[in-house]
Amino acid sequence: MERNRLTHIDRDGNAIMVDVSEKKETTRQATASGRITLQPETFNAVREGAIKKGNVLGTAQVAGIMGTKRTGELIPMCHPLFLEKSTVTFVEHEETSEIEVICTAKVTGKTGVEMEALTGVTVALLTIYDMCKGMDKEMTIHSVMLLEKTGGKSGHYQRKTKE
Protein backbone atom coordinates (compact mmCIF):
# COMPACT_ATOMS: atom_id res chain seq x y z
CA MET A 1 0.00 0.00 0.00
CA GLU A 2 1.31 3.45 -0.89
CA ARG A 3 1.84 5.84 1.99
CA ASN A 4 -0.17 8.62 0.36
CA ARG A 5 -3.28 6.40 0.37
CA LEU A 6 -3.48 6.57 4.17
CA THR A 7 -5.59 9.57 5.09
CA HIS A 8 -3.72 10.54 8.26
CA ILE A 9 -0.18 10.08 6.89
CA ASP A 10 1.51 12.34 4.31
CA ARG A 11 3.90 11.14 1.59
CA ASP A 12 6.83 11.42 3.98
CA GLY A 13 5.18 9.32 6.68
CA ASN A 14 4.24 12.24 8.92
CA ALA A 15 0.98 12.30 10.85
CA ILE A 16 -1.54 14.83 9.52
CA MET A 17 -5.10 15.88 10.16
CA VAL A 18 -7.26 15.30 7.08
CA ASP A 19 -8.10 18.44 5.10
CA VAL A 20 -11.90 18.71 5.06
CA SER A 21 -12.05 22.24 3.66
CA GLU A 22 -13.47 21.08 0.30
CA LYS A 23 -16.12 18.78 1.79
CA LYS A 24 -19.79 19.73 1.88
CA GLU A 25 -21.48 20.35 5.19
CA THR A 26 -24.15 17.77 5.94
CA THR A 27 -26.10 16.78 9.03
CA ARG A 28 -24.26 13.89 10.62
CA GLN A 29 -25.36 11.74 13.53
CA ALA A 30 -23.82 8.71 15.23
CA THR A 31 -24.98 6.38 17.99
CA ALA A 32 -22.69 4.07 19.93
CA SER A 33 -23.13 1.74 22.87
CA GLY A 34 -21.10 -0.19 25.41
CA ARG A 35 -21.63 -2.18 28.59
CA ILE A 36 -20.26 -2.62 32.06
CA THR A 37 -20.83 -5.82 34.00
CA LEU A 38 -21.03 -5.45 37.77
CA GLN A 39 -21.44 -7.84 40.66
CA PRO A 40 -25.18 -8.21 41.45
CA GLU A 41 -24.74 -6.38 44.78
CA THR A 42 -23.07 -3.44 43.04
CA PHE A 43 -25.69 -3.38 40.29
CA ASN A 44 -28.44 -3.20 42.94
CA ALA A 45 -26.58 -0.49 44.88
CA VAL A 46 -26.36 1.64 41.71
CA ARG A 47 -30.11 1.17 41.10
CA GLU A 48 -30.95 2.01 44.71
CA GLY A 49 -28.68 5.06 44.89
CA ALA A 50 -26.58 3.43 47.61
CA ILE A 51 -23.09 4.02 46.19
CA LYS A 52 -21.09 6.20 48.63
CA LYS A 53 -19.76 8.51 45.90
CA GLY A 54 -23.30 9.58 44.92
CA ASN A 55 -25.62 9.34 41.92
CA VAL A 56 -23.67 7.03 39.62
CA LEU A 57 -25.82 7.24 36.49
CA GLY A 58 -26.45 10.98 36.80
CA THR A 59 -22.73 11.62 37.11
CA ALA A 60 -21.91 9.21 34.27
CA GLN A 61 -24.49 10.91 32.05
CA VAL A 62 -22.89 14.33 32.50
CA ALA A 63 -19.40 12.85 32.09
CA GLY A 64 -20.39 11.11 28.84
CA ILE A 65 -21.80 14.33 27.40
CA MET A 66 -18.64 16.18 28.44
CA GLY A 67 -16.59 13.44 26.78
CA THR A 68 -18.34 13.96 23.45
CA LYS A 69 -17.49 17.66 23.61
CA ARG A 70 -13.79 17.00 24.35
CA THR A 71 -13.14 14.28 21.75
CA GLY A 72 -11.08 16.56 19.51
CA GLU A 73 -8.71 17.17 22.45
CA LEU A 74 -8.35 13.47 23.29
CA ILE A 75 -8.05 11.73 19.91
CA PRO A 76 -5.07 13.19 18.02
CA MET A 77 -6.46 13.33 14.46
CA CYS A 78 -10.09 14.21 15.26
CA HIS A 79 -11.34 17.60 14.18
CA PRO A 80 -12.83 19.69 16.98
CA LEU A 81 -16.59 19.86 16.38
CA PHE A 82 -19.34 22.18 17.53
CA LEU A 83 -21.88 19.54 18.52
CA GLU A 84 -25.57 20.30 18.14
CA LYS A 85 -26.73 17.30 20.17
CA SER A 86 -25.23 14.91 22.67
CA THR A 87 -27.28 12.44 24.69
CA VAL A 88 -26.32 9.63 27.04
CA THR A 89 -28.89 7.11 28.21
CA PHE A 90 -28.76 3.85 30.14
CA VAL A 91 -30.43 0.46 29.90
CA GLU A 92 -30.23 -1.70 32.99
CA HIS A 93 -29.96 -5.43 32.30
CA GLU A 94 -30.88 -6.98 35.64
CA GLU A 95 -30.52 -10.58 34.43
CA THR A 96 -26.80 -10.04 33.68
CA SER A 97 -26.06 -7.22 36.17
CA GLU A 98 -25.02 -5.01 33.25
CA ILE A 99 -25.55 -1.36 32.51
CA GLU A 100 -25.64 -0.49 28.83
CA VAL A 101 -24.65 3.05 27.87
CA ILE A 102 -26.02 4.54 24.63
CA CYS A 103 -24.64 7.83 23.31
CA THR A 104 -25.83 9.85 20.32
CA ALA A 105 -23.96 12.84 18.91
CA LYS A 106 -25.11 15.14 16.10
CA VAL A 107 -23.48 17.92 14.11
CA THR A 108 -23.90 19.84 10.87
CA GLY A 109 -20.40 19.78 9.49
CA LYS A 110 -17.76 18.40 7.17
CA THR A 111 -16.72 15.39 9.23
CA GLY A 112 -18.53 12.66 11.14
CA VAL A 113 -19.32 12.24 14.83
CA GLU A 114 -18.61 8.54 15.28
CA MET A 115 -15.61 9.21 17.52
CA GLU A 116 -17.66 11.60 19.65
CA ALA A 117 -20.37 8.99 20.25
CA LEU A 118 -17.77 6.30 21.04
CA THR A 119 -15.91 8.66 23.39
CA GLY A 120 -19.14 9.59 25.18
CA VAL A 121 -19.92 5.91 25.78
CA THR A 122 -16.41 5.18 27.01
CA VAL A 123 -16.22 8.15 29.37
CA ALA A 124 -19.62 7.28 30.86
CA LEU A 125 -18.52 3.66 31.38
CA LEU A 126 -15.25 4.76 32.99
CA THR A 127 -17.20 7.06 35.29
CA ILE A 128 -19.43 4.19 36.41
CA TYR A 129 -16.28 2.16 37.07
CA ASP A 130 -14.67 4.99 39.03
CA MET A 131 -17.72 5.56 41.21
CA CYS A 132 -18.18 1.84 41.98
CA LYS A 133 -14.58 0.64 42.27
CA GLY A 134 -14.62 0.89 46.07
CA MET A 135 -17.35 -1.75 46.15
CA ASP A 136 -16.51 -3.90 43.11
CA LYS A 137 -13.09 -4.73 41.70
CA GLU A 138 -14.55 -7.31 39.28
CA MET A 139 -16.32 -4.88 36.93
CA THR A 140 -15.72 -5.39 33.22
CA ILE A 141 -16.18 -2.77 30.51
CA HIS A 142 -16.94 -4.36 27.14
CA SER A 143 -18.76 -4.30 23.81
CA VAL A 144 -18.10 -0.66 22.91
CA MET A 145 -19.31 -0.28 19.33
CA LEU A 146 -20.78 2.02 16.71
CA LEU A 147 -24.46 1.19 16.22
CA GLU A 148 -25.43 3.66 13.51
CA LYS A 149 -24.24 6.70 11.62
CA THR A 150 -25.87 8.97 9.07
CA GLY A 151 -24.66 11.76 6.81
CA GLY A 152 -21.50 12.41 4.90
CA LYS A 153 -20.11 10.88 1.75
CA SER A 154 -20.33 7.29 2.99
CA GLY A 155 -24.02 7.69 3.86
CA HIS A 156 -26.01 5.56 6.27
CA TYR A 157 -24.46 2.74 8.28
CA GLN A 158 -26.34 0.52 10.71
CA ARG A 159 -24.73 -2.33 12.63
CA LYS A 160 -26.32 -5.63 11.73
CA THR A 161 -25.80 -7.29 15.12
CA LYS A 162 -25.25 -6.13 18.66
CA GLU A 163 -22.69 -8.29 20.44
Question: 18-76 pLDDT, tens per residue?
Answer: 888 888 899 999 999 999 999 999 999 999 999 999 999 999 999 999 999 999 999 98
- pLDDT-derived band at 5, boundaries 50, 70, 90: low
Query: What local confidence, expressed as pLDDT, does residue 163 receive?
Result: 62
* Residue numbers belonging to the annotated binding site for substrate: 77-79, 115-116
pLDDT at 109 over 80: yes
Reported pTM: 0.91
* Residue numbers belonging to the annotated binding site: 77-79, 115-116
Nearest to 41 by CA among 115, 139, 124, 112: 139
- Supply the residues annotated as catalytic: 130
Q: Which residue has the higher pLDDT, 111 or 5?
A: 111
- Residues 66-100: tens digit of each pLDDT: 999 999 999 988 999 999 999 999 999 999 999 99
Domains of the chain: 33-149 (3.30.70.640)
Taking the C-alpha atoms of residue 121 and residue 104, their distance in angstroms, rounded to an integer, is 9
